[in-house]
Protein backbone atom coordinates (compact mmCIF):
# COMPACT_ATOMS: atom_id res chain seq x y z
CA UNK A 1 0.00 0.00 0.00
CA UNK A 2 2.76 2.38 1.04
CA UNK A 3 4.78 1.40 -2.04
CA UNK A 4 1.88 2.14 -4.35
CA UNK A 5 1.38 5.59 -2.72
CA UNK A 6 5.08 6.43 -3.11
CA UNK A 7 5.02 5.30 -6.71
CA UNK A 8 1.99 7.44 -7.45
CA UNK A 9 3.55 10.48 -5.76
CA UNK A 10 6.80 10.00 -7.67
CA UNK A 11 4.89 9.91 -10.95
CA UNK A 12 3.34 13.24 -9.96
CA UNK A 13 6.50 14.87 -8.65
CA UNK A 14 9.00 13.83 -11.32
CA UNK A 15 7.36 15.78 -14.19
CA UNK A 16 7.02 18.82 -11.92
CA UNK A 17 10.66 18.55 -10.89
CA UNK A 18 11.78 18.21 -14.51
CA UNK A 19 9.66 21.19 -15.52
CA UNK A 20 11.21 23.26 -12.75
CA UNK A 21 14.69 22.11 -13.78
CA UNK A 22 14.18 22.94 -17.45
CA UNK A 23 12.56 26.23 -16.53
CA UNK A 24 15.55 27.20 -14.42
CA UNK A 25 17.90 26.22 -17.25
CA UNK A 26 15.92 28.26 -19.76
CA UNK A 27 15.94 31.22 -17.40
CA UNK A 28 19.69 30.91 -16.93
CA UNK A 29 20.21 30.60 -20.70
CA UNK A 30 18.25 33.82 -21.22
CA UNK A 31 20.31 35.81 -18.71
CA UNK A 32 22.90 36.97 -21.21
CA UNK A 33 25.69 37.45 -20.43
CA UNK A 34 26.36 35.16 -17.49
CA UNK A 35 30.08 34.60 -18.10
CA UNK A 36 33.06 36.45 -19.63
CA UNK A 37 32.93 37.55 -23.27
CA UNK A 38 35.91 37.08 -25.59
CA UNK A 39 36.53 40.03 -27.92
CA UNK A 40 38.75 38.87 -30.78
CA UNK A 41 40.82 41.74 -32.20
CA UNK A 42 42.52 40.77 -35.49
CA UNK A 43 45.35 43.26 -34.97
CA UNK A 44 48.47 43.42 -32.83
CA UNK A 45 48.39 45.07 -29.43
CA UNK A 46 49.22 48.75 -29.11
CA UNK A 47 47.71 50.22 -32.27
CA UNK A 48 44.68 52.46 -32.53
CA UNK A 49 42.38 49.47 -33.16
CA UNK A 50 43.65 47.77 -30.00
CA UNK A 51 43.26 50.93 -27.92
CA UNK A 52 39.71 51.41 -29.18
CA UNK A 53 38.84 47.76 -28.52
CA UNK A 54 40.20 47.82 -24.98
CA UNK A 55 38.48 51.09 -24.13
CA UNK A 56 35.19 49.75 -25.46
CA UNK A 57 35.69 46.45 -23.61
CA UNK A 58 35.98 48.28 -20.30
CA UNK A 59 32.83 50.28 -21.04
CA UNK A 60 30.96 47.13 -21.95
CA UNK A 61 32.19 45.35 -18.82
CA UNK A 62 30.58 48.00 -16.67
CA UNK A 63 27.35 47.85 -18.66
CA UNK A 64 27.06 44.08 -19.08
CA UNK A 65 28.34 43.07 -15.66
CA UNK A 66 30.80 40.55 -17.10
CA UNK A 67 34.47 40.80 -18.14
CA UNK A 68 35.05 41.51 -21.84
CA UNK A 69 38.48 40.01 -22.52
CA UNK A 70 40.45 41.32 -25.50
CA UNK A 71 42.21 38.54 -27.43
CA UNK A 72 44.60 39.83 -30.12
CA UNK A 73 44.68 37.46 -33.11
CA UNK A 74 46.52 39.29 -35.91
CA UNK A 75 47.29 37.72 -39.24
CA UNK A 76 46.26 37.35 -42.89
CA UNK A 77 44.82 40.87 -43.13
CA UNK A 78 42.32 40.16 -40.28
CA UNK A 79 41.27 36.80 -41.80
CA UNK A 80 42.77 34.77 -38.94
CA UNK A 81 40.62 36.44 -36.30
CA UNK A 82 37.57 36.49 -38.56
CA UNK A 83 37.85 32.75 -39.23
CA UNK A 84 38.12 32.07 -35.51
CA UNK A 85 34.91 33.95 -34.77
CA UNK A 86 33.04 32.64 -37.81
CA UNK A 87 33.60 29.07 -36.61
CA UNK A 88 32.71 29.78 -32.95
CA UNK A 89 29.43 28.93 -31.25
CA UNK A 90 26.85 31.64 -32.06
CA UNK A 91 26.07 32.23 -28.39
CA UNK A 92 27.41 35.77 -28.03
CA UNK A 93 30.50 34.85 -26.02
CA UNK A 94 32.94 35.14 -28.93
CA UNK A 95 32.75 38.55 -30.61
CA UNK A 96 34.78 39.94 -33.51
CA UNK A 97 36.22 43.44 -33.49
CA UNK A 98 35.73 43.90 -37.22
CA UNK A 99 36.85 46.50 -39.74
CA UNK A 100 36.09 47.45 -43.31
CA UNK A 101 38.91 45.15 -44.40
CA UNK A 102 37.28 42.21 -42.62
CA UNK A 103 33.73 42.59 -43.89
CA UNK A 104 34.05 44.61 -47.11
CA UNK A 105 37.44 44.49 -48.82
CA UNK A 106 38.73 40.98 -48.12
CA UNK A 107 35.87 39.16 -49.88
CA UNK A 108 36.33 41.44 -52.89
CA UNK A 109 40.12 41.00 -53.05
CA UNK A 110 40.77 37.35 -52.16
CA UNK A 111 39.40 34.64 -54.50
CA UNK A 112 40.09 32.07 -51.78
CA UNK A 113 39.13 33.53 -48.41
CA UNK A 114 39.00 31.39 -45.27
CA UNK A 115 35.66 32.86 -44.20
CA UNK A 116 32.56 34.32 -45.84
CA UNK A 117 31.39 37.44 -43.98
CA UNK A 118 27.98 37.48 -45.65
CA UNK A 119 27.22 33.86 -44.76
CA UNK A 120 29.21 33.32 -41.56
CA UNK A 121 29.27 36.64 -39.73
CA UNK A 122 26.49 38.85 -38.41
CA UNK A 123 26.86 42.64 -38.05
CA UNK A 124 26.12 43.90 -34.54
CA UNK A 125 27.21 47.52 -34.11
CA UNK A 126 29.39 50.22 -35.64
CA UNK A 127 31.79 51.83 -33.17
CA UNK A 128 33.81 54.46 -35.01
CA UNK A 129 34.81 55.67 -38.46
CA UNK A 130 38.39 56.18 -39.56
CA UNK A 131 39.03 59.08 -41.95
CA UNK A 132 42.08 59.24 -44.18
CA UNK A 133 44.39 62.24 -44.50
CA UNK A 134 46.36 63.07 -47.65
CA UNK A 135 49.95 63.82 -46.63
CA UNK A 136 53.20 65.17 -48.02
CA UNK A 137 56.55 65.71 -46.34
CA UNK A 138 57.52 69.08 -44.92
CA UNK A 139 60.06 69.61 -47.71
CA UNK A 140 57.38 69.14 -50.37
CA UNK A 141 56.57 72.18 -52.53
CA UNK A 142 52.88 71.23 -52.47
CA UNK A 143 50.68 73.23 -50.15
CA UNK A 144 47.32 71.99 -51.36
CA UNK A 145 45.90 68.86 -52.94
CA UNK A 146 45.29 70.87 -56.10
CA UNK A 147 49.05 71.58 -56.28
CA UNK A 148 49.85 67.88 -56.06
CA UNK A 149 47.26 66.92 -58.66
CA UNK A 150 48.53 69.63 -61.02
CA UNK A 151 52.09 68.27 -60.87
CA UNK A 152 50.86 64.70 -61.27
CA UNK A 153 48.99 65.71 -64.43
CA UNK A 154 52.06 67.47 -65.77
CA UNK A 155 54.30 64.46 -65.00
CA UNK A 156 52.24 61.27 -65.40
CA UNK A 157 53.59 58.30 -63.44
CA UNK A 158 56.52 60.22 -61.93
CA UNK A 159 55.14 60.92 -58.46
CA UNK A 160 55.32 58.04 -55.99
CA UNK A 161 52.71 57.35 -53.35
CA UNK A 162 52.89 54.93 -50.44
CA UNK A 163 50.33 52.53 -49.06
CA UNK A 164 50.24 49.93 -46.30
CA UNK A 165 49.88 47.18 -48.88
CA UNK A 166 48.10 46.38 -52.12
CA UNK A 167 44.36 46.20 -51.55
CA UNK A 168 44.46 48.09 -48.26
CA UNK A 169 41.95 50.86 -47.69
CA UNK A 170 44.82 53.36 -47.99
CA UNK A 171 45.82 51.98 -51.37
CA UNK A 172 42.23 51.98 -52.62
CA UNK A 173 41.71 55.55 -51.40
CA UNK A 174 44.44 56.74 -53.79
CA UNK A 175 43.21 54.49 -56.60
CA UNK A 176 39.83 56.19 -56.22
CA UNK A 177 41.52 59.61 -56.20
CA UNK A 178 43.34 58.76 -59.43
CA UNK A 179 40.03 57.73 -61.01
CA UNK A 180 38.38 60.94 -59.82
CA UNK A 181 41.17 63.24 -61.02
CA UNK A 182 42.54 61.42 -64.05
CA UNK A 183 46.13 61.41 -62.75
CA UNK A 184 48.63 58.56 -62.80
CA UNK A 185 50.76 57.94 -59.70
CA UNK A 186 53.32 55.22 -58.98
CA UNK A 187 52.28 52.87 -56.15
CA UNK A 188 54.92 51.86 -53.58
CA UNK A 189 53.51 49.46 -50.96
CA UNK A 190 55.06 49.35 -47.47
CA UNK A 191 54.59 46.96 -44.58
CA UNK A 192 52.61 49.33 -42.38
CA UNK A 193 52.18 53.05 -41.79
CA UNK A 194 55.41 53.60 -39.84
CA UNK A 195 57.82 52.73 -42.68
CA UNK A 196 55.65 54.63 -45.17
CA UNK A 197 55.70 57.70 -42.93
CA UNK A 198 59.47 57.41 -42.60
CA UNK A 199 59.85 57.21 -46.39
CA UNK A 200 57.64 60.27 -46.80
CA UNK A 201 59.67 62.28 -44.29
CA UNK A 202 62.90 61.17 -46.00
CA UNK A 203 61.62 62.23 -49.43
CA UNK A 204 61.71 58.70 -50.86
CA UNK A 205 58.05 59.06 -51.81
CA UNK A 206 56.03 62.19 -52.52
CA UNK A 207 52.57 61.34 -51.21
CA UNK A 208 50.85 59.12 -48.65
CA UNK A 209 47.18 58.70 -47.78
CA UNK A 210 47.27 57.55 -44.15
CA UNK A 211 44.63 56.91 -41.52
CA UNK A 212 44.18 59.87 -39.20
CA UNK A 213 44.60 57.62 -36.17
CA UNK A 214 48.09 56.71 -37.34
CA UNK A 215 49.20 60.08 -38.71
CA UNK A 216 47.87 62.51 -36.10
CA UNK A 217 50.99 62.57 -33.90
CA UNK A 218 53.33 63.38 -36.80
CA UNK A 219 50.93 65.98 -38.19
CA UNK A 220 50.62 67.73 -34.83
CA UNK A 221 54.37 67.47 -34.37
CA UNK A 222 54.91 69.32 -37.64
CA UNK A 223 56.71 66.43 -39.31
CA UNK A 224 54.11 65.78 -42.02
CA UNK A 225 51.92 68.25 -43.90
CA UNK A 226 48.23 67.42 -44.36
CA UNK A 227 46.70 68.49 -47.66
CA UNK A 228 43.15 67.19 -47.29
CA UNK A 229 40.94 64.80 -45.35
CA UNK A 230 38.64 62.29 -47.01
CA UNK A 231 35.48 62.85 -44.96
CA UNK A 232 32.48 64.81 -46.18
CA UNK A 233 32.97 67.37 -43.41
CA UNK A 234 36.16 68.76 -41.88
CA UNK A 235 37.51 66.93 -38.85
CA UNK A 236 37.35 68.52 -35.38
CA UNK A 237 40.91 67.29 -34.83
CA UNK A 238 42.13 69.06 -38.02
CA UNK A 239 39.77 72.01 -38.45
CA UNK A 240 42.10 73.94 -40.77
CA UNK A 241 42.58 71.07 -43.22
CA UNK A 242 40.08 71.08 -46.11
CA UNK A 243 38.27 68.02 -47.36
CA UNK A 244 39.01 66.42 -50.72
CA UNK A 245 35.54 67.57 -51.77
CA UNK A 246 36.44 71.18 -50.90
CA UNK A 247 39.63 70.77 -52.91
CA UNK A 248 37.66 70.42 -56.11
CA UNK A 249 36.44 66.81 -56.18
CA UNK A 250 32.93 66.99 -54.71
CA UNK A 251 31.99 63.32 -55.09
CA UNK A 252 35.05 62.03 -53.26
CA UNK A 253 34.58 60.59 -49.77
CA UNK A 254 36.42 57.64 -48.22
CA UNK A 255 36.41 56.24 -44.71
CA UNK A 256 36.78 52.87 -43.11
CA UNK A 257 35.23 51.69 -39.85
CA UNK A 258 35.44 49.62 -36.69
CA UNK A 259 32.53 47.54 -35.46
CA UNK A 260 31.41 44.34 -33.76
CA UNK A 261 30.28 41.15 -35.49
CA UNK A 262 29.09 37.76 -34.22
CA UNK A 263 28.91 34.32 -35.76
CA UNK A 264 25.87 34.02 -38.00
CA UNK A 265 22.65 32.85 -36.30
CA UNK A 266 23.44 34.48 -32.95
CA UNK A 267 20.18 34.98 -31.01
CA UNK A 268 18.45 38.31 -31.72
CA UNK A 269 18.33 39.20 -28.02
CA UNK A 270 22.11 38.77 -27.81
CA UNK A 271 22.66 40.94 -30.90
CA UNK A 272 20.38 43.61 -29.47
CA UNK A 273 22.04 43.53 -26.04
CA UNK A 274 25.52 44.01 -27.49
CA UNK A 275 24.26 46.69 -29.86
CA UNK A 276 22.72 48.57 -26.93
CA UNK A 277 25.97 48.33 -24.98
CA UNK A 278 27.96 49.84 -27.86
CA UNK A 279 25.29 52.52 -28.35
CA UNK A 280 25.66 53.51 -24.71
CA UNK A 281 29.45 53.82 -25.10
CA UNK A 282 29.40 55.92 -28.29
CA UNK A 283 26.76 58.22 -26.82
CA UNK A 284 29.11 59.17 -23.99
CA UNK A 285 30.85 62.49 -24.57
CA UNK A 286 34.11 61.45 -22.92
CA UNK A 287 34.35 58.35 -25.16
CA UNK A 288 33.79 60.44 -28.28
CA UNK A 289 36.24 63.13 -27.16
CA UNK A 290 38.96 60.57 -26.48
CA UNK A 291 38.90 59.10 -29.98
CA UNK A 292 38.00 62.21 -31.93
CA UNK A 293 41.18 63.74 -30.47
CA UNK A 294 43.04 60.87 -32.16
CA UNK A 295 41.43 61.65 -35.50
CA UNK A 296 38.59 59.15 -35.48
CA UNK A 297 34.93 60.02 -35.91
CA UNK A 298 32.42 58.51 -33.49
CA UNK A 299 29.04 58.88 -35.23
CA UNK A 300 25.62 58.18 -33.72
CA UNK A 301 24.82 54.53 -33.13
CA UNK A 302 23.26 52.33 -35.80
CA UNK A 303 20.93 49.43 -35.17
CA UNK A 304 22.24 46.02 -36.21
CA UNK A 305 19.99 46.12 -39.29
CA UNK A 306 21.24 49.60 -40.23
CA UNK A 307 24.84 48.49 -39.77
CA UNK A 308 24.20 45.52 -42.06
CA UNK A 309 22.81 47.88 -44.72
CA UNK A 310 25.81 50.19 -44.29
CA UNK A 311 28.23 47.28 -44.89
CA UNK A 312 26.27 46.23 -47.97
CA UNK A 313 26.52 49.72 -49.44
CA UNK A 314 30.28 49.74 -48.82
CA UNK A 315 30.67 46.44 -50.71
CA UNK A 316 28.66 47.81 -53.63
CA UNK A 317 30.80 50.94 -53.65
CA UNK A 318 34.22 49.28 -53.73
CA UNK A 319 33.47 46.29 -55.95
CA UNK A 320 33.49 48.22 -59.29
CA UNK A 321 36.82 49.94 -58.54
CA UNK A 322 38.52 46.69 -57.49
CA UNK A 323 37.25 44.96 -60.64
CA UNK A 324 38.24 47.86 -62.89
CA UNK A 325 41.75 48.01 -61.43
CA UNK A 326 41.98 44.18 -61.49
CA UNK A 327 43.28 44.05 -57.93
CA UNK A 328 43.49 40.42 -56.80
CA UNK A 329 45.29 39.08 -53.73
CA UNK A 330 46.33 35.51 -52.97
Distance, in Å, from the CA atom of 69 to the CA atom of 94, rounded to the nearest integer, reads 10
pLDDT of 324 reads 95
Those residues with Cβ within 8 angstroms of residue 174's Cβ, 6 or more apart along the chain or in another chain = 161, 163, 185, 187, 207, 209
pLDDT of 17 reads 42
Q: Three-state SS for 125?
A: strand
- List the alpha helices (DSSP H) in the chain: 2-30, 48-64, 79-86, 100, 106-109, 117-120, 145-154, 169-181, 193-202, 212-220, 268-282, 285-292, 304-325
* 91, 266 Cβ separation under 8 angstroms: yes
Distance, in Å, from the CA atom of 87 to the CA atom of 96, rounded to the nearest integer, reads 11
Question: Which secondary-structure segment (H or E) carries 96?
Answer: strand 94-99
* 103, 258 Cβ separation under 8 angstroms: no
Least confident residue range of 28-37, 42-51, 200-209, 229-238? 28-37
Q: What is the mean pLDDT of residues 133-148?
A: 96
312 vs 30 pLDDT, higher one: 312
Give me the residues paired with residue 130 across strands: 256
pLDDT of 28 reads 44
Mean pLDDT score of the chain: 91
pLDDT of 25 reads 42
Is the peptide bond prior to 148 cis by the omega test (within 30 degrees of 0)?
A: no
Alpha-carbon distances, residue 171 vs 84, 220, 228, 235, 324 (angstroms)? 27, 23, 16, 21, 14
The helix-helix angle for 48-64 and 285-292 (nearest 10°) equals 170
61: number of Cβ within 10 Å: 16
Distance, in Å, from the CA atom of 260 to the CA atom of 53, rounded to the nearest integer, reads 10
User: Tens digit of pLDDT for each residue in 274-309?
Assistant: 999 999 999 999 999 999 999 999 999 999 999 999
Helix, strand and coil content of the chain, in percent to the nearest 5, comes to 50, 20, 30
pLDDT of 330 reads 84
Indicate if the pLDDT at residue 29 is higher than 60.
no
Least confident residue range of 4-18, 68-82, 203-217, 254-268? 4-18
pLDDT of 10 reads 41
Q: What is the mean pLDDT of residues 99-128?
A: 97
Burial class, 115, CB count within 10 angstroms (exposed 0-12 / middle 13-18 / buried 19+): buried
* 131, 236 Cβ separation under 8 angstroms: no
Indicate if the pLDDT at residue 21 is higher than 70.
no
Amino acid sequence: MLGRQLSRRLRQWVPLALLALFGAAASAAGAYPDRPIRLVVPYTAGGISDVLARTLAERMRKDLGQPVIVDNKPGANTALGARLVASAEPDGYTVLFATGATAVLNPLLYPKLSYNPEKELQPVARIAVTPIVMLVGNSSPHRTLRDLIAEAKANPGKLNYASTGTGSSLHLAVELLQSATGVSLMHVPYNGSAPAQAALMAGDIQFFADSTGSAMGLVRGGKLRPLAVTTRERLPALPDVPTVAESGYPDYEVTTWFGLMLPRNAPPDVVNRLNASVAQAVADRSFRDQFEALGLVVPPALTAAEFNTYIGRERERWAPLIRAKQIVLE
